[in-house]
Copies of this chain bind each other. A is one copy, B any other.
Amino acid sequence: MTTPPSKNFTLPDQQARRSRRKEARPGELLAAALDLFVEKGFAATRVDEVAQRAGVSKGTLFLYFPSKEELFKAVVRENISGRFAEWNDEIDRFDGSTHDMLRYCLFNWWERVGSTQASGIPKLMMSEAQNFPELASFYRQEVMQPGNALIERVLRRGVASGEFRPMDFTYGVYLVLAPMLFLALWKHSLGTCCGDDVQLDPHKYLAAQLDMLTHGFNQPKNHPNPSLEHALP
């Protein structure tokens, strides 16, 4: 990483090549795989096609990923589960109200995941989970559990600080998750099948949901929010 300032006239090239090599091929393969998995689903995606789109042969793909399933796992790690550490860090260092933190989480998620191809993964998992149990359990362990835990941490922080009223955190987590999921589904399925006239502005949508959520979570001041009283079961 940190190369000594002198005498490195031959190394940079080699180093650069190495580090690019080790990253470049898998990187292109992962990008191609993400695109195709999101577009066609896991089962319907052909490994030949992934390889071809990445500009390599099918054999090369299996040089980097021992199977189609492992390729998929790598895609998920690269795009989602590998980022939880960073996100947890950000939350640890976050300095502000939990309301702001929740807003930050949602918009940040949209910026880094929701608005990218990666948001197609949840839809994909929803469809294929039944047919590929190992992928399902992988997804639960590497995405849903840490994701839910992260949201729960935020909610607990809010309750601890008195910003949010006490709640059943399991439900709370799903209340936060629902709009993200809806947005992802809209982007990759629903939105594509109703004409372009039905635009859904993600920022506005998230803002509205956030508003409802935090008003629902907030300590009641003058009057309770009746419509969330029985929001989830």
Contact = CB atoms under 8 A, between A and B. Distances in A.
A186 to B, nearest CB: 9
Interface in A101-139: 123-124, 126-131, 136
B40 A131 contact: yes
Given A178-B182, A189-B126, A233 B200 contact: yes
Contact of A190 (B126, B189, B207): B126
A51 B189 CA distance: 30
Nearest to A127: B127
Interface string A163-174: 000000011001
A214 B134 CA distance: 43
B193 A208 contact: no
A16 interface: no
Interface stretch (A73-81, A86-94, A224-232): A224-232
A227 B208 contact: yes
A203 B39 CA distance: 34
Given A211-B227, A212-B227, A193 B144 contact: yes
B43 A193 contact: no
Contacts of A95: none
B129 A126 contact: no
Given A198-B174, A208-B227, A40 B130 contact: yes
Contacts of A185: 126, 185
A209 to B, nearest CB: 9
- 7 tightest Cβ-Cβ pairs between the two chains A and B: A127-B127, A201-B233, A126-B189, A211-B227, A212-B227, A44-B131, A208-B231
22 contacts: A41-B130, A43-B43, A124-B127, A126-B185, A126-B189, A126-B190, A127-B189, A129-B192, A136-B193, A144-B194, A170-B197, A170-B198, A181-B190, A182-B182, A199-B233, A200-B233, A204-B230, A204-B233, A205-B231, A208-B227, A208-B230, A215-B227
